[in-house]
Amino acid sequence: MSTTSGRSRSCTRWPTGSSSTASLLDGLLEANPRLPPAFWPLGSNPNDYSGHARNGIVRGSVSYGAGKRGNAASFDGDGDYIEIADATTPTTKNHRFQSTDTYTLAAWVYPTHTGVNRWRGVVTKSRDGGNRYGIWITSRERWAADTPTGVLEGTLTVVRNAWTHVAIVQDGRTNTRRLYVNGALGAIGTAAPGDGTGPLWIGGGASTGFWFQGKIDDVRIYERALSPAEISGL
């Protein structure tokens, strides 16, 4: 490991994880260096390992324990979450998207308590202001992609105490937005704007109080549409 500051960061890997995960990330970074993903492996901290310094801040108390890819972040459902501030500089990814933009938001999720007439935010961007997007568990206990123009809700009931992979894929070129649950298409709708300037939250909808209870692992944002095969490999 280099002892010099700055460039030594390139040697840093996420605390725990599989080699296949590393290969997928590295390939994407090389394929599209201008628009790489954001990546929160949540092994022991809320840091972004994509190289874009989108490190999170823990609000309340978040613990780390056995997850899907190494460790995961654990939330008690009572107001604890990770906050990633909206970026304001042009050289830092801001994670704001227009309806004509293409992106993928993906995470592994292990709910220990679900909606039961109450929505729960899993990974949500700018929920409190502007055009939002994000992964939610709805009050009907279903996985969903929420936007200001409508909710894309799957039909499968959320399974508690089990890992489920959830991904939202928006393709601005085809004006579509898809929800994938464990790699399978769960719902499809039209693309929506998600350019609000509020923070990204892992573990809740912040001031809405729709806290997530359980574990979240391996949160990623890509600025391209991952294929179903790629999603299944996350």
69 binds Ca ion (CB under 5 A): yes
Q: What contacts 182, CB < 8 A, 6 or more positions away?
A: 164, 165
Q: Could you give the 3-state DSSP secondary structure of residue 198? A: coil
The phi and psi torsions of 7 (rounded to 5 degrees) equal -70, -20
Asked whether 69 and 218 are in contact (CB, 8 A), the reply is yes
70 binds Ca ion (CB under 5 A): yes
Q: What is the token pair recorded at 6?
A: 């700055």
Considering beta carbons, is residue 176 or 182 the nearer one to Ca ion?
182
Considering beta carbons, is residue 108 or 210 the nearer one to Ca ion?
108
Among 37, 67, 193, 214, binds Ca ion (CB under 5 A): 67
The phi and psi torsions of 57 (rounded to 5 degrees) equal -120, 130
Give the nearest distance from C-beta 109 to Ca ion in angstroms: 12
Q: Which CA distances in Å does 83 have to 72, 74, 79, 150, 207? A: 16, 14, 12, 24, 12
Piece in contact with Ca ion (CB under 5 A), picked from 45-53, 65-73, 81-89, 91-99: 65-73
Considering beta carbons, is residue 70 or 115 the nearer one to Ca ion?
70
Site for Ca ion in 27-56 (CB under 5 A): 41-43
Among 80, 141, 153, 217, binds Ca ion (CB under 5 A): 217
Residues of the shown chain interacting with Ca ion in the complex, contacts defined by CB under 5 A: 41-43, 67, 69-70, 217
